[in-house]
């Protein structure tokens, strides 16, 4: 079979008066279970294979564009060129949608890991890639990634990919285009920052509200849904503080159940939307939202009707 082009990783989901668009930056395929901080590889394999998933896992990388009023808000901005050839799709997809970098008014970062923040700045020239955007981020992220003492404890790869790249990416915005917060707060009309530390010190979810509809974009609360909903205590090697990350994960998962929140996940398989339900003995269940087609105005039918039937 000759080569082919996959469909673009773009998916529009109306939320009240907002339009939330998944923009898929790509994926990372792993050949080991060592990305998990759990020695029971048989358990991890069982969780994946029970959901007919590849084991070891493929981890999707999504960002979300939120459009309402005069605002174009990116929640995370992709990995730029730092994560290899299977990632870095965000700029091309924004261009395909006709969204110029200058049109992005805000970038809300869940945290400053490279797959979430490395699309902010050209690392060669130091120029902002979103010249008119305000970057919203928890101040604990700045304190941690600019801490030379913490950097000294890191591996050589972590120093380069996390600390050095993070500083390069965020620095151009810090002087006059950054909104730093340290608690739950509304960063923009209808968008509330909800800190959930552990994965990184300032890891943050964002709750979107428009009319009666509510959604949480939960960042890296979960990396591999099949595993971490089956056992929310399973951490990742990318965690700064795995026990605290697990505590935040359980809290956010329970919130999603109690409030029946629609979830937008950076590492939920495209198109990235789901709801969470309670499982058995402390586990949770993952119910991916059904893909739907909408008209040019973002409307979707409230209920399916058979052909020819109007009531």
Q: In 3D, which of 162, 166, 161, 163 has the Cα closest to residue 137?
A: 166
Sheet containing 284-288, strands listed edge to edge, beginning at the edge strand earlier in sequence: 185-188, 191-195, 204-210, 213-217, 262-264, 273-278, 284-288
Q: In 3D, which of 28, 85, 76 has the Cα closest to residue 224?
A: 28
Confidence at residue 304, expressed as pLDDT on a 0 to 100 scale: 40
CB atoms within 10 A of CB 71: 15
Confidence at residue 305, expressed as pLDDT on a 0 to 100 scale: 42
What's the CA gap between 173 and 292, in Å, rounded?
37
CB atoms within 10 A of CB 84: 11
Confidence at residue 234, expressed as pLDDT on a 0 to 100 scale: 97
Per-residue pLDDT of the chain (311 residues; tens, 9 = 90+): 566 677 789 999 999 999 999 999 999 999 899 999 999 999 999 999 888 787 888 899 999 999 999 999 999 999 999 888 999 999 999 999 999 999 999 999 999 999 999 999 999 999 999 999 999 999 999 999 999 999 999 999 999 999 999 999 999 999 999 999 999 999 999 999 999 999 999 999 999 999 999 999 999 999 999 999 999 999 999 999 999 999 999 999 999 999 999 999 999 999 999 999 998 888 999 899 887 766 555 555 444 444 444 43
CATH architecture of 10-288: 4-Layer Sandwich (3.60)
CB 256 within 8 A of CB 275: yes
**Burial of residue 168, with CB atoms counted within 10 A of its CB: 0-12 exposed, 13-18 middle, 19 or more buried:** middle
Sign of CA dihedral 151, 154, 156, 157: negative
Three-class SS state of 119: coil
């Amino acid at each position: 079979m000759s080569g082919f082009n996959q469909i673009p990783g773009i998916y529009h989901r109306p939320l009240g008066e907002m339009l939330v668009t998944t923009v898929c930056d790509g994926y990372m395929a792993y050949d080991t279970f060592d990305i998990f901080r759990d020695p029971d590889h048989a358990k991890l394999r069982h969780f994946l294979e029970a959901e007919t998933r590849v084991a070891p896992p493929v981890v999707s990388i999504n960002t979300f564009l939120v459009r309402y009023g005069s605002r174009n808000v990116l929640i995370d901005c992709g990995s730029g060129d730092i994560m290899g050839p299977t990632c870095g799709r965000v700029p091309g997809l924004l261009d395909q949608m006709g969204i110029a970098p200058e049109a992005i008014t805000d970038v809300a970062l869940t945290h400053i890991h490279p797959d979430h923040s490395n699309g902010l700045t050209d690392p060669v020239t130091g120029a902002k890639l979103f010249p008119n955007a305000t970057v919203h981020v928890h101040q604990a992220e700045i304190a941690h990634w600019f801490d030379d003492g913490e950097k000294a404890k890191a591996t050589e790869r972590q120093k380069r990919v996390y600390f050095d790249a993070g500083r390069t990416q965020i620095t151009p915005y810090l002087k006059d285009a950054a909104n730093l917060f340290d608690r739950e707060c509304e960063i923009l009309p209808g968008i509330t920052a909800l800190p959930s530390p552990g994965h990184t010190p300032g890891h943050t979810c964002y709750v979107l509200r428009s009319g009666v509809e509510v959604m949480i974009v939960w960042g890296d609360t979960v990396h591999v849904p099949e595993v971490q909903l089956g056992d929310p205590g399973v951490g990742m090697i990318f965690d700064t503080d795995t026990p605290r990350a697990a505590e935040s994960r359980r809290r956010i998962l329970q919130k999603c159940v109690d409030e029946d929140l629609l979830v937008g996940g950076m590492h939920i398989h495209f198109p990235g939307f789901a709801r969470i339900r309670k499982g058995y003995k402390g586990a949770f269940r993952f119910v991916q939202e059904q893909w739907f087609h909408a008209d040019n105005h973002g409307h979707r039918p409230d209920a399916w009707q058979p052909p020819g039937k109007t009531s």
